[in-house]
């Protein structure tokens, strides 16, 4: 398996799409639908990357990112916002909250994998040569 990617997303359709796209490329997605479970799974599995929805009921993405960043063993883990909120002020708030970047929703299946791979260490891309990828 490739990189372990934690996906914290409350929308079932978005979760299913991200799961499908990541598995198709050999990545190992870990899926949860709320922030509290996401923090617990991050602590337990130490993923290579966290894809995090911003607007979730209960613990929102900003609170999740803060909780993850408080854990020494997860401080270097890349956290990428999955968000429909990509206006200028939103981008600044996302960066100030400790996110490493964002991927705008709705997710574009044709661009999604290259967007994700931009946040993974180079060795993670070596699962299969780029020419063999779909």
Per-residue pLDDT of 88-98, as tens digits, reads 788 889 999 99
| Mean pLDDT, rounded, for 72-87 | 91
Work out the number of other CB atoms within 10 angstroms of the CB of residue 73. 9
Return the CA Rg of the chain: 14
For 6-36, the pLDDT digits (tens) are 999 999 999 999 999 999 999 999 999 999 9
Enumerate residues 6+ apart whose C-beta is below 8 A from 49: 3, 4, 5, 6, 77, 78, 79, 80, 116, 119, 120
Closest Cα to residue 53, out of 89, 99, 120?
99
pTM equals 0.90
Question: Residue 101: which domain range?
Answer: 4-132
Q: What is the DSSP annotation of 20-54?
A: HHHHHTT-EEEEESSHHHHHHHHHHH--SEEEEES
Q: What's 21's domain CATH number?
A: 3.40.50.2300
Residue 1, pLDDT score: 66
Pair 74, 46: CB distance under 8 Å: yes
pLDDT mean across residues, the chain: 90
Tell me how far apart the alpha carbons of residues 17 and 39 are, in angstroms, rounded to a whole number.
22
- Per the structure, how many domains does the chain have? 1
- Mean local confidence (pLDDT), 74-98: 89
């Amino acid at each position: 398996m490739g990189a372990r990617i934690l996906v914290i997303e409350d929308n079932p359709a978005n979760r299913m799409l991200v799961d499908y796209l990541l598995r198709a490329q050999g990545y190992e997605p870990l899926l949860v639908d709320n922030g509290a479970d996401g923090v617990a799974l991050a602590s337990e599995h130490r993923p290579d990357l966290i894809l995090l929805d911003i607007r979730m009921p209960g613990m929102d993405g900003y609170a999740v990112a803060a909780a993850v960043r408080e854990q020494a063993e997860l401080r270097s883990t890349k956290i990428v916002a999955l968000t429909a909120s990509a206006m200028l002020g939103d981008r600044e708030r996302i960066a100030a909250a400790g996110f490493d970047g964002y991927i705008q929703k709705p997710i574009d299946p044709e661009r999604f994998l290259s967007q994700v791979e931009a946040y993974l260490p180079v060795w993670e891309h070596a699962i299969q040569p780029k020419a063999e990828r779909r």
